[in-house]
A = this chain, B = another copy of it.
Amino acid sequence: MKTAAMLQTYPAEINVDRELLVRVIDTLVTCSQACTACADACLSEDMVADLRKCIRSNLDCADSCATTAAILSRHTGYDANVARAHLQACIAACRACGDECESHAGMHEHCRICAEACRACEQACTELLDAIA
């Protein structure tokens, strides 16, 4: 990722801890890719019928993380209300997907790894939400 390098070149002020911001964006991007891959891996499992809810929460979480990463990658005309509301939404998506994936973690390694990515993302977003509250 080039997140830190790009952030350093932003030509105006940023009123957030930059190290934290980079970590959150990278965690969001990682979680979005993991969720897209987990949805697809679940779809190829023999027991796909038992993984419907998991696939659905994967798809939601992938979309939510991608949108939140994009919003946090923009600093021009920063609006704290918009950032906060999307962090909260993303935390809800990560929690739902983390819970669902965790319940299959013993059986499916992709769910175990994806649950880890969701937990890390939920925690990183919560840290940033506290920092900009």
Interfacial residues, chain A to chain B (CB-CB below 8 A)? 1-3, 5-12, 25, 29-30, 33-34, 36-41, 43-46, 48-49, 52-57, 59-60, 62-64, 66-67, 69-71, 73-77, 79, 81-82, 84-86, 88-89, 91-93, 95-96, 100, 108-110, 113-114, 116-117
Which residues of B sit under 8 angstroms from A89, Cβ to Cβ?
Answer: 82, 85-86, 88-89
With contacts A6-B41, A117-B2 taken as known, whether A82 is within 8 angstroms of B92 at the C-beta atoms is yes
CB distance from A77 to the nearest CB of B (A): 3
Are A3 and B92 in contact, CB atoms less than 8 angstroms apart?
Answer: no
**Within the complex, which residue of B57, B79, B96 is in contact with A57, where a contact is CB–CB below 8 Å?**
B79
**In contact, B33 and A73 (Cβ under 8 angstroms):** yes
Q: Which residues from chain B contact A2 at a C-beta distance below 8 Å?
A: 30, 33-34, 37, 113-114, 116-117
